[in-house]
């Protein structure tokens, strides 16, 4: 995906405000909805000064965001699960945006 094809959506990013953290890293998460923002997860196209597509982001509290971005360390025993944390958070965030009406999945039927 080229940078011109990356989804950039202020409503998608703004919808993170006031939400519970979808990362919930054990020993890190502050559970403070006032600090939640859309955190761009590591992925293709991310580099110095560039972010991945907004669809590759998760609602994260400030503490979990710091760990994902490398500003704080993973707690002992949790770094080996980082891919699982990010995959779970991505799924939870996309499902939340669908419930919020920010995205629409054609043919969606509740599970």
Tokens (6 digits) for 65: 């965001």
The CATH number that applies at residue 32 is 3.30.50.20
- The model's pLDDT over 52-89, given as tens digits with 9 standing for 90+, comes to 899 999 999 999 999 999 999 999 999 999 999 999 99
Please check whether residue 39 lies inside any domain of the structure: yes
105: in domain: no
Half-sphere exposure of 60 (CA within 13 A, CB side): 24
**Among the listed residues 106, 83, 103, 95, the one whose alpha carbon sits nearest the alpha carbon of residue 59:** 95
Computed on alpha carbons and rounded to an integer, the radius of gyration of the chain in Å comes to: 14
Residue ranges making up the domain that contains 66:
3-100
Q: What is the pTM of this model?
A: 0.87
Confidence of residue 49 (pLDDT cuts 50, 70, 90): low
Q: State percent of the chain over pLDDT 70.
A: 88
Number of domains in the chain: 1
């Amino acid at each position: 995906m080229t940078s011109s094809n990356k989804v950039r959506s202020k409503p998608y990013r703004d919808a993170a405000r006031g939400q519970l953290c979808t990362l919930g890293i054990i020993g890190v998460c502050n559970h403070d909805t006032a600090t939640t923002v859309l955190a761009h997860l590591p992925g293709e196209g991310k580099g110095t000064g560039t972010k991945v597509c907004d669809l590759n982001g998760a609602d994260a509290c400030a503490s979990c965001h710091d760990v994902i971005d490398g500003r704080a360390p993973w707690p002992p025993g949790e770094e080996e699960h980082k891919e699982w944390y990010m995959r779970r958070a991505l799924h939870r965030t996309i499902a939340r945006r669908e419930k919020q009406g920010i995205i629409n999945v054609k043919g969606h039927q509740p599970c």
